[in-house]
Amino acid sequence: MTQTWNPVDYQEKGSFVPALGEPLLDLLAPVAGMRVLDVGCGDGALTWKIVEKGATVVGIDASEEMARAARARGIDAVCVSACDMAFDGEFDAAFSNAALHWMTEDPAKVLRNIAKALKPGGRFVAEMGGEGNILRIREAERAALQKRQLDLDVLAPKFFPSAGQYKGMLEAAGFAVSQMTLFNRKTRLPDGLSGWLKVFSTGVLSALSEDDLPVFLQEVEALARPYLTDEQGWFADYVRLRFVAVKQ
């Protein structure tokens, strides 16, 4: 199974993702005349803020539904995976928010393709899930799936590297890392854990029968509740890896 995206659900229940990614814009510092590649642009909510600064932006996303939603905002967005894109020395900067950890097929190739897309000296500004990201959520999903003889890493693979691991990968792809931070980000889930799973774990949920789906969601919530709730309700145990790298 693979993750699928519904732009309407994403905008309604996942709008915190682009909102929390806005500090990246300060690191990118887009200006008029800058040409930017947005890797994993999603529905373009954050991409549009780069456009508003006067930069020329091309967005790519492996989901046709999300690329279409980005185009509906007026963004130049194409449906192509970062593993398959073939840009060559076209961009002053690359940008990515909450997308690189979904690109599990060949993360090293993704970085090589991004480096190839940049001009010499071009910057790569990004944030992704880092080591320990959604650990408690995945533990609960894994336990509930094991009862059903299903494998979480097959249904929903993720790539959450440590800072040291990813710095090495960036350097191997031809980047010099100028900033890198791994930090916890306790993130509120206004629709609860089940609402989050229905948007961000479709690869798992699509493997379940219609009758079993509500049972599974209840089981996952029961397993995660001691770790991911407080007096304000549900939250996600996000850990983010943020960095700035320069193509050599």
* Chain segment 139-167, per-residue pLDDT in tens: 999 999 999 999 999 999 999 999 999 99
pLDDT, tens digit (0-9, with 9 covering 90-100), for 77-125 = 999 999 999 999 999 999 999 999 999 999 999 999 999 999 999 999 9
Q: Which residue has the tokens 């789906």?
A: 213
Spell out the domain ranges in the chain: 7-133+157-189+239-247
Q: What is the pTM of this model?
A: 0.91
Helix axes 135-146, 212-228, angle to 10 degrees: 140
pLDDT tier at 1 (50, 70, 90 boundaries)? very low
CATH classification for the domain delimited by 7-133+157-189+239-247, as one of 1.10.150.670, 3.30.429.10, 3.40.50.150, 3.40.50.720: 3.40.50.150
Scanning the chain, the segments in alpha helix (DSSP H) are: 7-13, 16-20, 23-28, 47-52, 64-72, 107-117, 135-146, 152-155, 163-172, 192-200, 202-205, 212-228
Q: Which residue has the tokens 């699509």?
A: 206
Beta-carbon contacts of 155 under 8 Å, excluding residues fewer than 6 positions away, are 1, 145, 203, 204, 207
- Output DSSP code: residue 241: E
Scanning 53-147, the segments in alpha helix (DSSP H) are: 64-72, 107-117, 135-146
CA dist., res. 50 & res. 55, Å (int): 6
Q: In this structure, which amino acid lies at residue 222?
A: A
> pLDDT above 70 covers what percent of the chain?
92
CA distances to 15, 125, 225 from 234, rounded to whole Å, are 16, 30, 8
